[in-house]
Amino acid sequence: MTLRHIRIFEAVCDNGCNMTRAAEALCMTQPAVSLAVSELESCYGVRLFDRISRRLYLTEAGRALLDYARRITLTFDDMERTVRNWEETGTLRVGASVSIGAKLMPSYAAAFRKKCPGVAVRVRIDRSDKLEEALAENKLDFALIEGIVHNPDLIAEDYLEDRLALIAAGAESGRVLTREEFLASDLLLRERGSGTREVFESALTAADCPVPEPVWESISTAALVNAAAAGLGVAVVPRRMVEEVLARGEAAEVFVEGVRLDRKYKLVRHREKKLTGAAEAFMELCRTFHGTGEKEEGHAEA
């Protein structure tokens, strides 16, 4: 029994249980239609039609098969439409590390919805290391990551410049701390595994500066910002996340002598992953989008 048999049987039923009319509708010969029905009856060992006075009438078994046939062909046709039009109507699975997810992803997703309204976007916001795992297991199509990419099976493309900011209360904005002053400060830092934490520690190591143990560790950037504004220490956070806080004067940005905290956001995908047109379109939107005041790639604030 094949889908062809089911479609022929359904056509016979739709044409008044008349094999000649069904054959005409299907552009087949009447013997070919009759053979397909006979093969169905032989397959299941039941009569699908009673043949009375040279006319066909559905049997109870035939009615049961027709009910299933309707559901099967409807499901198959829906599958055909969905898969064939996947580029315009499929589902896109996008990951974002926490800061990108909070600050940029809502604008990206809203702009993409206008561009490709038929594509459903499923977003996962998580730590960079967790997103790498998801990409390796094909649970995401691609991800936007702040940190360093470790898995050699992943391809990372820099797409937006950024930097980390050190913020503190009661300090002069723009003040440059000596290393001794910085190391004497209480440090408020994201948890291990986050892109922010890894970039910060790598920057200190590159500057031959010891990495102090934080007094606060949090998965929440907002918690670190609030703690810094309350005078509890120096928080290390993405600069984009604290622009409003700094503008209101609730905290000040400080710097550490000889330590550079520049970094770049990355578009990351598995090197063996064949991206759909929708995924390519979303990634291109990220490269060029500046609907929230973001500048073009390569011209973001240093």
pLDDT > 90 in the chain, percent: 65
Rounded mean pLDDT of 108-121?
A: 92
pLDDT of residue 250: 87
DSSP 54: T
Chain centroid to CA 216: how far?
31
What is the gyration radius of the CA atoms in the chain, in angstroms? 31
Rounded mean pLDDT of 180-204?
A: 90
103, two tokens = 């600050």
pLDDT of residue 88: 67
- Does the pLDDT of residue 23 top 50, yes or no? yes
Under the banding of pLDDT at 50, 70 and 90, the label for residue 297 is very low
3-state secondary structure of 250: coil
174, two tokens = 């723009």
Chain centroid to CA 258: how far?
38
Asked if 126 contacts 261 with a C-beta cutoff of 8 angstroms, the reply is no
- Does the pLDDT of residue 241 top 80, yes or no? yes
Taking only the tens place, the pLDDT of each residue in 244-286 is 888 888 889 999 999 989 888 999 999 988 888 889 999 999 9
Under the banding of pLDDT at 50, 70 and 90, the label for residue 135 is very high
Asked if 179 contacts 257 with a C-beta cutoff of 8 angstroms, the reply is yes
Q: Which range, of 151-155, 188-192, 289-293, averages the lowest pLDDT?
A: 289-293
Please report where in the chains the tokens 């892109």 appear, as a residue: 195
110, 150, 189, 191 from 217: Cα distances, Å: 32, 23, 5, 5
- How many Cα atoms are found within 13 Å in the side-chain-facing hemisphere of 165? 25
Please report where in the chains the tokens 């934490």 appear, as a residue: 197
- Does the pLDDT of residue 22 top 90, yes or no? yes
pLDDT of residue 99: 84
What distance in Å separates the CA atoms of residue 251 and residue 267, rounded to the nearest whole number? 31
Under the banding of pLDDT at 50, 70 and 90, the label for residue 37 is very high
**Domains recognised in the chain with CATH numbers:** 3-84 (1.10.10.10), 88-160+264-288 (3.40.190.10), 162-262 (3.40.190.290)
65, 92, 96, 264 from 267: Cα distances, Å: 51, 15, 9, 10
Please report where in the chains the tokens 């937006």 appear, as a residue: 160
pLDDT > 70 in the chain, percent: 94
Under the banding of pLDDT at 50, 70 and 90, the label for residue 290 is low
